[in-house]
Each structure stands twice: as structure tokens, then as C-alpha cells.
Structure 1
Amino acid sequence: MPSEDNSSTEQIERSLIEITVESWKFSRIFARVVNKLDAGEAGRYVNQLRYFQKKIEQNLDAAGLKLVNVEGHMFDPGMAASPLNIGDFGPDDALLVDQMVEPIIMGPDGLKKQGTVMLRKVQA
């Protein structure tokens, strides 16, 4: 029965990764909405968002997983993220990760889920 236990563990990990990605996306949308509120009202919601994100990170950590956001980093073709708009650029363009569409999820043994990014050209 070890294969059943392994299969169950893998399913739990996949489920945790999926709910993490969806939570990450929701957090980004929620943050954009909160930024439209006045400063006094926004503070309470920002704190709730931080708490939610902290709980996600704690649960990932307990499972040996880590969420990786590469926004603002120079793009490297070896990065664990697929660029959606790579065709918009030339081979010699210096590119920056402008936006994470989906985060990268790493585990103790390496990549668990590849991320998705949007790129932009570095302004000289």
C-alpha cells in the first residue's frame, strides 16, 4: 500500500499548490481594489491581506513548499517561468519580469509548479 499513500500525498500537494496559486491571484486582485480606497479605510484591509498571505506562506512552509515571485527581476530563459509575451521582443532585448501572472512554487527537491510572467523591455 505504499503507492496509495504516495499517491494520496501527491494529490494533497497538488491541491495545496492549486489553492495557493488561486489565493495568490485573488490577493493581487484584492490589493488592487484596496488601493482604490481612501487611506483610512484601506489600512484595515491591507492588514487583513497581509495576515492572509502570512497564513498561506506558513502552510506552504509546513509542507516544504515556497512561493517565488520574480517580478522586477531580469528575465533569464532558464527561469522557472513561461513568458506570455516573449514574441513581442527581439533576441538581443534586455527583458525584465514586469508582472507575475502565476507564481513559481518550489519544493525541497526543486520546481513543483512553473510560473507565468509578462515581460517588458529594459529602458536604456
Structure 2
Amino acid sequence: MTNKQTQETRLQKALLEITTESWRLKKIAERTLSLLDANEQRKNTGKINWFERKLETSLEECGYKLVSFEGQPYTPGIPPTAINLEDFEPEDELYINQTIEPTILDKDGRILKSGIISLTKAVKTK
């Protein structure tokens, strides 16, 4: 590996780490909104939404995309790693109830960073 390739690899790794931590910070900010009064919630929701759009736009310019699988049915083989898969039986119908870390893909859909998710059983209705 050349010196230039090594530097590019380090830059990509740093960008992926900054992206993940920015996503986490956004999630914390969203949870904190509930502690504010209605007027402050409106103001800060706009700021958080702006930050999210800016993050996604900047990533797109680099050929990257953040993917959250939250709310989707769980199927074996999806990119993120389920931290609690062993808590369920193979026949359980599972859904992704939380994204702990997002998955980051390149423009061709290749996985640059596999995310981390938490699963829950599907609620059966009669």
C-alpha cells in the first residue's frame, strides 16, 4: 500500500467515525427536545433537522449514504449487526426497534461501515 493510499484509508476511517458520532449526537439532541418547552422544541427541532440535512448532503458529496433500518422487519444477512439476536428463537418474527449505529454505504451500495441494531419480537394481533 502506498503512502497516498494509507493516507486516504485513514481519512476515510476518520470520516466514517465522525459520521457515526455526529449521528449519535443528533439522536441525543432529539431525545433532549422532550425536556424543553414547546417554543424551544420548535426552534431546536429546526436546528436538528438542518444538521441532519447538512450531514446527509455532505456525505452524498463524498459518495456515502447513512442507512438506518429502524422499524423494518429483520432478515438474516442485512448489513447491521444485531446485538440481541441470541435472545430470540429462530422462528420468532423480529423487527428492528433501534439503530444504535447507522450503516454507511458507498454510492454503489457497498458497506463501508456495518451498523449495530437492536431487535424486538413482532407484536401479534388477533
Normalising by structure 2, what TM-score? 0.92
Segments of structure 2 that go 5 or more residues without pairing to the other structure are none
2:43 corresponds to 1:44? yes
Query: Between Structure 1 and Structure 2, how many residues are aligned?
Result: 123
Between the aligned partners of 1:5 and 1:58, the Cα distance in structure 2 is 26
Between the aligned partners of 2:57 and 2:107, the Cα distance in structure 1 is 15
Q: Which amino acid aligns with 1:58?
A: T
Kindly report structure 1 stretches of 4+ aligned residues shifted beyond 3 Å.
Answer: none
Once the two structures are superposed, what CA deviation does each residue of 1:57-110 show, in whole Å capped at 9, x if it has no partner? 111111110000000000111110111111111000000000000000001340
Q: Which residue of 2 aligns with 1:25?
A: 24
2:77 corresponds to 1:81? no
Tell me whether 95-104 or 3-12 shows the greater mean CA deviation.
Answer: 3-12
Segments of structure 1 that go 5 or more residues without pairing to the other structure are none
Secondary structure of 1:35's aligned partner: helix
Q: CA deviation at 1:46?
A: 0.6
Normalising by structure 1, what TM-score? 0.94
Q: Which residue of 1 aligns with 2:117?
A: 117
- Percent identity reads 33
Once the two structures are superposed, what CA deviation does each residue of 1:10-42 show, in whole Å capped at 9, x if it has no partner? 211111110010011111011000122222111
